[in-house]
C-alpha cells in the first residue's frame, strides 16, 4: 500500500503512509507523514526499521518534490528506528529531532509527557494550523504517559500548549486524523483530570488496593489495555504524590511498587 493523501487546511500536500506494525500499543500501525511545502518534502516519523516501508516513504517523497529532511516526534522505536536508513536513502538529508534543531518549514514545540524528548510540528497559522502530534494525542484511545519525574504533570502542561496553538487538524502518530483538533486536545485534558478526580475519590474512600483502584477508576478499559492502564495509574499516583495529595496512610509498599518501576 502506498498510502493516501489527506486534505489539510494549510498550503501543503500531505500523505499518510502507515507502517505494517499493528499492535495494542501502536493501534493500526505507526503513521508516517510525507509533507510537501513549497516544493520541498519532509517525512515526519519514518517508523520502524522496515526497508519496505522506508522505500515507500522515499518514493512518495521524490514524487512530491525535493526531499529536504526527516523530522522525529520522539525517539520511540516504532517512530524512529528507520530514521538513519530513510535519511540516507533520501540523499543524506538532515534530521530534525529534540536536541537537533535544523531549518524546516515547521513550527516546533517541545511537548514532554509521553516521552521526555517529544516534539510536535505544525504548518499554517491559527485556524489553518495542521499539527503533527506524534503520540501526545492519538487518533483513537488515549496515549501512554509513563511514570518517572512527574511526566503526567508535563503531559497536562503540553496539552495546554497544544490547545493554545489551536490546531484545526491533528495528524497523530497512530490512528486517524482528528478534525477540530483544538477541541480534541481540550477533551483529552479533561479526560485525564476526570480520571484524577475519580482516583482522589476512591483514595478518599480508602480504596488502596491497586487492582481495586484500577477496577473502580479505569472500569471502562478493555483487558487488552489493562497493563497500559496500570502504567497510567502509576503516573497519576506519582503526580498526586509530587503534589502532596496522597492520603497519609496510603500504603508505603504500594508506593514503592510503582516508584521503583522503570
- Restricting to residues 167-186, which ones interact with Zn ion according to CB under 5 A? 173
Question: Minimum Å distance from CB 31 to Zn ion?
Answer: 9
Q: Could you say which of 45, 50, 78, 238 contacts Zn ion (CB under 5 A)?
A: 78
Please state the closest distance from residue 26 (CB atom) to Zn ion, in A: 6
- Determine the size of the site formed for Zn ion (CB under 5 A): 3
> Which residue number, 78 or 238, has a Cβ lying nearer to Zn ion?
78
Please, what is the minimum distance in Å from the beta carbon of residue 197 to Zn ion?
28
Work out how close the CB of 159 gets to Zn ion at its nearest, in angstroms, rounded to a whole number: 17
**Nearer Cβ to Zn ion, position 137 or 203?**
137
What secondary structure does DSSP assign to 113-154, as a single string?
SSSTT-EEEEESSGGG-EEEEETSS-SSSPPP---SSSHHHH
* Interaction pattern, residues 108-137, with Zn ion; x per rule: CB under 5 A: ---------------------------x--
Q: Which is nearer to Zn ion, 112 or 173 (CB)?
A: 173
Segment near Zn ion (CB under 5 A); pick from 53-61, 70-78, 96-104, 235-243: 70-78
**Shortest spacing between CB 169 and Zn ion, in angstroms:** 19
Does 45 bind Zn ion (CB under 5 A)? Our answer is no
Nearest-approach distance from CB 78 to Zn ion, in angstroms: 5
Site map 134..153 versus Zn ion, x via CB under 5 A: -x------------------
Give the nearer residue to Zn ion in terms of CB position, either 67 or 112.
112
Between 37 and 138, CB nearer to Zn ion: 138
DSSP per residue, the chain: ---EEE--SSSSEEEEEE-S--BTTTBT-BEEEEEEETTEEEEE---SS-HHHHHHHHHHHHHHSEEEEEE-S---HHHHTTHHHHHHHTTS--EEBTTB----SSEEEE--SSSTT-EEEEESSGGG-EEEEETSS-SSSPPP---SSSHHHHHHHHHHHHHHH--SEEEESBS--EESHHHHHHHHHHHHHHHHHHHHHHHHTT---HHHHHHHHTTTS-GGGHHHHHHHHHHHHHHHHHTT-S-TTS-HHHHHHHHT--
Q: Minimum CB separation from Zn ion for residue 215, in Å?
A: 27
Residues of this chain that bind Zn ion (CB under 5 A): 78, 135, 173
Amino acid at each position: 500500500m502506498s498510502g493516501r493523501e489527506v486534505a489539510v487546511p494549510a498550503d501543503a500536500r500531505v500523505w499518510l503512509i502507515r507502517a505494517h506494525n499493528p499492535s495494542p500499543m501502536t493501534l493500526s500501525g505507526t503513521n508516517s507523514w510525507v509533507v510537501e511545502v513549497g516544493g520541498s518534502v519532509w517525512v515526519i516519523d519514518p517508523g520502524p526499521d522496515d526497508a519496505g516501508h522506508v522505500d515507500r516513504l522515499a518514493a512518495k517523497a521524490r514524487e512530491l518534490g525535493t526531499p529536504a529532511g526527516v523530522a522525529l516526534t520522539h525517539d520511540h522505536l516504532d517512530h524512529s528506528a528507520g530514521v538513519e536508513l530513510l535519511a540516507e536513502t533520501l540523499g543524506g538529508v538532515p534530521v530534525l529531532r529534540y536536541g537537533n534543531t535544523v531549518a524546516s518549514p515547521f513550527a516546533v514545540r517541545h511537548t514532554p509527557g509521553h516521552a521526555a524528548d517529544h516534539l510536535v510540528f505544525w504548518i499554517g497559522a491559527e485556524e489553518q494550523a495542521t499539527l503533527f502530534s506524534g503520540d501526545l494525542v492519538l487518533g483513537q484511545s488515549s496515549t501512554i504517559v509513563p511514570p518517572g519525574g512527574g511526566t503526567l504533570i508535563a503531559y497536562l502542561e503540553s496539552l495546554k500548549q497544544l490547545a493554545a496553538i489551536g490546531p484545526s487538524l491533528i495528524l497523530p502518530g497512530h490512528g486517524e486524523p482528528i478534525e477540530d483538533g483544538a477541541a480534541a486536545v481540550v477533551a483529552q485534558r479533561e479526560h485525564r483530570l476526570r480520571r484524577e478526580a475519580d482516583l482522589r475519590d476512591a483514595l478518599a474512600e480508602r480504596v488502596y488496593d491497586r487492582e481495586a483502584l484500577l477496577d473502580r477508576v479505569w472500569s471502562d478499559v478493555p483487558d487488552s489495555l489493562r497493563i497500559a492502564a496500570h502504567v497510567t495509574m502509576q503516573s497519576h499516583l506519582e503526580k498526586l504524590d509530587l503534589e502532596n495529595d496522597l492520603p497519609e496512610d496510603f500504603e508505603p509498599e504500594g508506593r514503592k511498587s510503582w516508584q521503583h518501576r522503570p
